[in-house]
Chains A and B, each alone.
Chain A
Amino acid sequence: MGWQIVRAWTVLVYLFMFLPVAVVVLLSFNASQFGSFPMTGFSFRWFVELAQNEAILRAFRTSVVLGLLTALISTTLGVLASLALVRYRVAGANLISTLLIAPILVPEVVLAVALLLFLNFLQINKSFTLLLLGHVIFTLPFVILVVQARLVSIKRDVEEAAMSLGASPQQTFFQVTLPLMLPAVLAGALFAFTISFDDITGTLFWKPGGVETVPTQIFAMLRNSISPEINALGTVMIVMTVGLPLLGLAIARKLSTKGGN
């Protein structure tokens, strides 16, 4: 009896989490002019309009480039730091870990203000560079947490075996360690990309006038009223940030079962 209530409650909680998002997707296919209920038919017209909207396409390109560069830099820094923390006995490892995840312990607004004002003081104005630096520092802790968690499971024995068979440290790293680390590296990069692609709190502080990312573009469009185009854009974003990781997960699973045979 009690269990049934808990089950029903859980169903309601999941509905609460997903129903509003499902409505966004549903309405993006609405044929009606006003992008609201009632649905008058099924249509792709809002996606077509989206593809012809220059401002949105520009925001999309900015977000993708920003996300890729963020992922590249932040994953590089994060993987190196994680290697040091997992593979070596470092004095003060706990303190270092705390320092490295500090960017997510500080409220994002405060991080955004501090970075904006300090770099402005150094004559680095609101620019793509500032945006990139901000996204890197904000995503770095997430990369470190994800990569570190997965690195722990790679056994040192394999590397020692390679070395004892005559491989140099460089050969060992590139031919043994790196391939084993690859899933962790990709997971970190994907995480960094997704967080960067979705970020709005810091981005609104850092972006120069006239430059929009997809989230800030949506935010600017909300000022007028909710249009079906926003729902369509939302659907595209959901497909990107949910579909890509799921696809990655599926591929990883497929590869690992293949390797197991």
Chain B
Amino acid sequence: MSVEAREARQPWILLSPALTAVALLLFVPLLFIMIYSFWLRTATGADQVGFFLDNWQEALTDAFYRDILLNTLKIAAITTVVCAVMGYPAAYFIARSKGNKGILLLLLMLPFWISYIIRTMSWINILGVSGAFNSALMALGIVSEPIQMLYNETTVILGLVHFLLPFMVLNVFVSLDGIDTNLEDAANSLGATRWQAFMQVTLPLSLPGLAAGGLLCFVLGAGTYITPLVLGGPTDAMFANLVFEAIITQLNWPLGSALSLMLLVVLGALVLIYNRYLGMAQLMKGLG
């Protein structure tokens, strides 16, 4: 074999273990559940192989699934907007601060290292019947009985915002940090107020970062089932909870496959639209 041929083969040898893993552990399984979603789980618990539309009919026409899907998207959308409103000014402050940038960035990375389940359950210490908030209210004599503040849709959103805010701040920061501050100064020297310079120069230039952060918040938020289980009430199930129920509790795997694919299509469509208009590069910047 010639040297060039060996040279050309080498990267493929290096890539093949990772590519094989992704193929066998992601793409083939995804294909498999596409097929599986047309099978039928019979009353005996065995799968009937074939081409049945029952699961898809149930998943797509049952109002129960539709309502929860819409509610899930609503919760994800509110979460994303709250993250953007809370996160943008903070990202702006970090990007423009002189002395404390390093420490602020390091602190921003910490939540990524703290377990999601701990950050979620930490709100029980704050809002629970014997949590910090109720203890304070009772100590101040404002209430005589603790108030139940947990286990509703608001606390689910609160938990999601707490989980996803660092993704938003980081992505907005990355794009703000790349903007030349001279541009704002130039706008100022041409007579724009600071606010005008921000609205007409900086904000538009930072939109890719805002979009990347928004996409991450929305997709991660809409795909969660742990937060509703920990901070939501019995009626606050999100779509991923239905998937978990179907797969783990009811053991109806073909139906669970169909529901998973529905979630994949809805959220995947968003990723594709994002990719079409903004490309993956911005997203990778924030992730790396």
Residues of A at the B interface (CB closer than 8 Å) are 2, 6-7, 9-10, 13-14, 16-21, 23-24, 27, 34, 36-38, 76-78, 80-81, 83-85, 87-88, 90, 96, 98-111, 113-119, 121, 133-134, 136-137, 140, 142, 144-146, 148-149, 194, 197-198, 200-201, 204-205, 214-215, 218-219, 222, 226, 230-231, 234, 237-238, 241-242, 245
Which A residues are in CB contact (< 8 Å) with B261?
Answer: 110
- Give the dominant DSSP class at A's interface: helix
Please give the distance in Å from A32's CB to the nearest CB on chain B. 10
- Judge whether A23 and B126 touch: CB under 8 Å: yes
When chains A and B are docked, how far (Å) is the Cα of A200 from the Cα of B116?
Answer: 8
- Judge whether B33 and A114 touch: CB under 8 Å: yes
- Judge whether A27 and B125 touch: CB under 8 Å: yes
- Judge whether B165 and A16 touch: CB under 8 Å: yes
Q: Which residue of B lies closest to A120 (CB)?
A: B253
- Judge whether A10 and B89 touch: CB under 8 Å: yes
Please give the distance in Å from B4's CB to the nearest CB on chain A. 12
- Judge whether B14 and A84 touch: CB under 8 Å: yes
- The 9 residue pairs across chains A and B that have the minimum distance between CB atoms: A107-B223, A118-B29, A114-B29, A36-B130, A37-B135, A20-B122, A84-B14, A81-B18, A84-B11
Interface residues in B99-125 (C-beta closer than 8 Å to A): 104, 107, 110-111, 113-119, 121-125
Which A residues are in CB contact (< 8 Å) with B124?
Answer: 222, 226
Which A residues are in CB contact (< 8 Å) with B195?
Answer: 2
- Of B60-68, B90-98, B179-187, which stretch is located at the interface? B90-98
Residues of B at the A interface (CB closer than 8 Å) are 7, 10-12, 14-15, 17-19, 21-22, 25-30, 32-33, 36, 86-87, 89-90, 92-94, 104, 107, 110-111, 113-119, 121-126, 128, 130-132, 135-136, 139, 162, 165-166, 169, 194-195, 219, 222-226, 229-230, 240, 243-244, 247-248, 253, 256-257, 260-261, 263-264, 267-268, 271, 280, 284, 287-288
Which A residues are in CB contact (< 8 Å) with B268?
Answer: 105-106
Question: Could you pull out 6 A-B pairs where Cβ atoms are within 8 angstroms?
Answer: A105-B271, A109-B244, A117-B253, A136-B25, A200-B116, A204-B244
- Judge whether B260 and A113 touch: CB under 8 Å: yes
- Judge whether B32 and A21 touch: CB under 8 Å: no
Please give the distance in Å from B228's CB to the nearest CB on chain A. 12
